[in-house]
């Protein structure tokens, strides 16, 4: 019997608009509630990372996005580190983000991304994002 050993991928979107970065506050599970993340979710079987990100942002925030670039690296996240988190910078193509699954959204200054209590697995992406966000056109 073949065993799939590759961990499931979770994709997160760093939405950048006017040089600021969108952060979203989780409501579940209890240990992650109140902490901040990049909106996104699990990649479905047979789905590309880009397509998963576009789908998740439509579902969670009601917006259409375009992937600009993936940040370096991956992090083990979730219970027992069972998922691999990848994060991409995306731009808004249509719509205004509205929290449907999160209880709060905030646009952060890239120089002060640590103003919110990020999930641990998100922190390693912040330095690259701080450097990159101001270089993107509005
Ligand atoms: N979406 C997202 N999940 C993250 C981030 N950082 C992090 O540790 N995680 C973890 C939390 C969860 O254990 C897992 C993704 O869960 P999720 O609840 O967003 O996934 P999903 O939308 O597909 O949810 P579901 O339908 O399977 O419940 O990855 C992040 O920045 N964004």
44-83, pLDDT tens digit by residue? 999 999 999 999 999 999 999 999 999 999 999 999 999 9
The CATH number of the domain holding residue 54 is 3.90.79.10
Q: Does ligand 1 come within 6 angstroms of the Cβ of 42?
A: yes
Question: For the whole model, what pTM was predicted?
Answer: 0.94
Place of tokens 């988190």: 85
Asked whether the predicted pLDDT for residue 138 surpasses 60, the reply is no
Integer Cα distance of 124 and 122 in angstroms = 6
35 in any annotated domain: yes
Which structural domain, as residue segments, surrounds residue 40?
20-135
107 in any annotated domain: yes
Query: What pLDDT was estimated at residue 100?
Result: 96
9 in any annotated domain: no
| CA–centroid distance, residue 40 to ligand 1 (Å) | 7
Specify the ligand 1 atom closest to the Cα of 101: 22
14 in any annotated domain: no
Q: Does ligand 1 come within 6 angstroms of the Cβ of 38?
A: yes
HSE-up of residue 119 (Cα within 13 Å, Cβ side): 25
Q: Does ligand 1 come within 6 angstroms of the Cβ of 61?
A: no
85 in any annotated domain: yes
Cβ 39 vs Cβ 13: under 8 Å? yes
Q: Is the ipTM of this complex over 0.85?
A: yes
What is the count of structural domains for the chain? 1
């Amino acid at each position: 019997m073949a065993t799939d050993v590759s961990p499931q991928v979770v994709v997160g979107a760093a939405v950048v608009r006017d040089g600021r970065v969108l952060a979203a506050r989780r409501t579940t599970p209890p240990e992650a509630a109140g902490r901040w993340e990049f909106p996104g979710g699990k990649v479905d079987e047979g789905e590309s990372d880009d397509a998963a990100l576009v789908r998740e942002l439509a579902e969670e925030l009601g917006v259409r996005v375009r992937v600009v670039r993936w940040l370096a690296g991956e992090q083990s996240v979730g219970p027992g580190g069972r998922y691999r988190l990848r994060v991409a910078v995306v731009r808004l193509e249509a719509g205004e983000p509205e929290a449907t699954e999160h209880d709060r959204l905030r646009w952060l200054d890239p120089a002060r991304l640590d103003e919110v209590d990020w999930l641990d697995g998100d922190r390693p992406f912040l330095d690259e994002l701080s450097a990159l966000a101001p270089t993107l056109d509005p």
